[in-house]
Structure 1
Amino acid sequence: MPLDRRHFLIQSGSAAAVVALFGQGCASPSTPTAMGSGEVLGFTGVPASLRDGIVVPPEYEWQLLYPWGTPTGVANRMPSFAPDASNSADDQAAQAGMHHDGMHFFALDASGERGLLVMNHEYTDEQLLHTDGVKEWTAGKVRKSLHAMGVSVIEIRRTDKGWQQVLPSPFARRVHGSTPMRIAGPAAGTPLMRTTANPAGDAVFGTFANCAMGVTPWGTYLTCEENFHGYFGGPKDAARNATAAQRRYGTVAGSQWVEYWRFDERFDVSRHPNEPHRFGWVVEIDPFDPTATPVKRTALGRKRQESATCTVAKDGRLVVYMGDDSRFEYIYKFISRDKVRPGTDAAARAANRHLLDEGTLYAARYDAGGRGQWLELTHGCNGLDAANGFADQAEVLIHARLAGDHVGATKMDRPEWIAIHPQSGEVYVTLTNNSQRGDAGKPPPDAANPRANNLFGGILRWREDAGDAAATGFAWDHFALAGDPAQPGSGARYPSASADAFGAPDGLHFDRGGLLWIQTDMSGQVIGKPPYTALGNNQMLCADPASGRIKRFLTGPNGCEITGCVVTPDRRTLFVNIQHPGEARDDGDTKPNSAWPDGTTPGSARPRSATLAIRRRDGGIVGT
Structure 2
Amino acid sequence: MSSQLHPDSALEQTDECSNPSANPSFNDVLEQRQLSRRGFLKSSVTATAGVTAVTVLGGTMVDALTRYAQAAPAPLGGIGFASVPANVVPMTDAVTVPAGYSARVLVAWGDRLGAGAQWNPADPMDEATQLQAYGAHTDGMHFFPFPGAAGNVRGLLVSNSEYVDPPLVHGIVPASAYSSATITLDMVRAQQAAHGVNIVAVGKDLIGRNHGAWKLIHHSPYNRRITGNTPCEVRGPAAGHPLLRTAADASGRRVLGTLNNCAHGHTPWGTYLTCEENFNGYFGSASTFDRTAHEARYGLNAGGFGYRWHEADERFDLNTHRNEANRFGWVVEIDPWNPASTPVKRTALGRFKHESAGVVVGPDNTVAVYMGDDERNEYVYKFVCARKFDPKNRAANRNLLDEGTLYVARFDADGSGTWLPLVWGQNGLTPDNGFADQGEVLIKCRQAADRVGATMMDRPEWVAVHPSTREVYLTLTNNSRRGNTPASGNQPDGTTAAASANPPVDAANPRPDNDFGHIIRWRENMGSTAATGFAWDIFVKCGDQATTKTLGGSYTPDGHDGYLGNINGDDYGAPDGLWFDPSGRLWIQTDQAGDGKGDWVNIGGNVMMCADPSSGETRRFLTAPRHCEVTGVTATPDGKTLFVGIQHPGEDWSVSPTDNSTWPDSGINGPTTASGLGMVYKPRSGVVAITRDDGGVIGA
Q: TM-score range by the shorter chain?
A: over 0.9
Q: For structure 1, which segment, 292-301 or 18-27, has the greater mean C-alpha deviation from structure 2 after superposition?
A: 18-27
Q: Which runs of 5+ in 1 are unaligned?
A: 11-15, 34-38
1:420 aligned partner: 465
Match of 1:617 among 690, 693, 700: 693
1:40 aligned partner: 78
For the residues of structure 2 that align with 1:427 and 1:2, how far apart are their CA atoms?
Answer: 26
Cα pair distance change 1:298/1:546, threshold 3 Å: same
Match of 1:308 among 328, 350, 357: 357
Aligned 8 A contact 1:19 1:493 in 2: no
Aligned 8 A contact 1:335 1:470 in 2: yes
Task: State, as a whole percentage, how many aligned pairs show the same letter.
Answer: 50
1:86 aligned partner: 124
Match of 1:55, as an amino acid? T
Match of 2:525, as an amino acid? D
Match of 1:563 among 631, 636, 654: 631
For the residues of structure 2 that align with 1:585 and 1:532, how far apart are their CA atoms?
Answer: 19
Instruction: State the structure with bigger RCO (CA 8 A, min sep 6), 1 or 2.
Output: 2
2:66 aligned partner: none
1:584 aligned partner: 652
Match of 1:124, as an amino acid? V
Aligned 8 A contact 1:25 1:421 in 2: no
SS at match of 2:598: coil
Aligned 8 A contact 2:565 2:572 in 1: no
2:451 aligned partner: 406
Cα pair distance change 1:87/1:284, threshold 3 Å: same
Aligned 8 A contact 1:281 1:302 in 2: yes
1:435-483 CA-to-partner distances (Å, cap 9, x unmatched) read 1112224111111001111110010000110111110000000000001
Q: What is the TM-score when the length of structure 2 is the normalising length? A: 0.82
Match of 2:162 among 98, 105, 122: 122
Aligned 8 A contact 1:19 1:494 in 2: no
1:536 aligned partner: 604
Match of 2:476, as an amino acid? L
1:139 aligned partner: 185
Cα pair distance change 1:296/1:462, threshold 3 Å: same
Aligned 8 A contact 1:18 1:493 in 2: no
Aligned 8 A contact 2:360 2:470 in 1: no
Q: Per-residue deviation at 1:213?
A: 0.2
Q: Per-residue deviation at 1:232?
A: 0.7
1:294 aligned partner: 343
1:259 aligned partner: 308
Task: Kindly indicate whether residue 243 of structure 2 is the aligned counterpart of residue 192 of structure 1.
Answer: yes
Q: Per-residue deviation at 1:103?
A: 0.3
Q: Number of residue pairs matched?
A: 598
1:519 aligned partner: 589
For the residues of structure 1 that align with 2:161 and 2:407, how far apart are their CA atoms?
Answer: 28
Q: Per-residue deviation at 1:9?
A: 10
Q: Per-residue deviation at 1:342?
A: 0.7
1:566-619 CA-to-partner distances (Å, cap 9, x unmatched) read 121101111000000001369x99864001111369x94300101010011100
Map residues 360-439 of structure 1 onto 2, 5 A cutoff.
360-439=405-484
2:674 aligned partner: none
Task: Kindly indicate whether residue 106 of structure 2 is the aligned counterpart of residue 68 of structure 1.
Answer: no
1:36 aligned partner: none
Q: Which runs of 5+ in 2 are unaligned?
A: 1-5, 16-31, 41-68, 206-210, 487-501, 550-560, 669-678
Task: Kindly indicate whether residue 526 of structure 2 is the aligned counterpart of residue 466 of structure 1.
Answer: yes
Aligned 8 A contact 1:518 1:541 in 2: yes
Aligned 8 A contact 1:6 1:523 in 2: no
Q: For structure 1, which segment, 121-130 or 47-56, has the greater mean C-alpha deviation from structure 2 after superposition?
A: 47-56
1:176-226 CA-to-partner distances (Å, cap 9, x unmatched) read 001011001110101001000000000010001000000011000000000
For the residues of structure 2 that align with 1:84 and 1:118, how far apart are their CA atoms?
Answer: 27
Match of 2:201 among 131, 148, 155: 155
Match of 2:146, as an amino acid? L
1:469-505 CA-to-partner distances (Å, cap 9, x unmatched) read 110000000000001022225644667x432110000
Larger Rg: 2
SS at match of 2:442: helix
1:234 aligned partner: 285
For the residues of structure 2 that align with 1:151 and 1:438, how far apart are their CA atoms?
Answer: 37
1:282-322 CA-to-partner distances (Å, cap 9, x unmatched) read 00000001110000000000000010110113432210000
For the residues of structure 1 that align with 2:667 and 2:642, how far apart are their CA atoms?
Answer: 25
Aligned 8 A contact 1:19 1:481 in 2: no
SS at match of 2:386: strand
Aligned 8 A contact 2:360 2:367 in 1: yes
Match of 1:224, as an amino acid? C
SS at match of 2:268: coil
For the residues of structure 1 that align with 2:440 and 2:397, how far apart are their CA atoms?
Answer: 25
For the residues of structure 2 that align with 1:141 and 1:79, how far apart are their CA atoms?
Answer: 21
For the residues of structure 2 that align with 1:9 and 1:333, how far apart are their CA atoms?
Answer: 27
Q: What is the TM-score when the length of structure 1 is the normalising length? A: 0.92
1:476 aligned partner: 536
Cα pair distance change 1:584/1:252, threshold 3 Å: closer
Cα pair distance change 1:28/1:210, threshold 3 Å: closer
Cα pair distance change 1:25/1:119, threshold 3 Å: farther
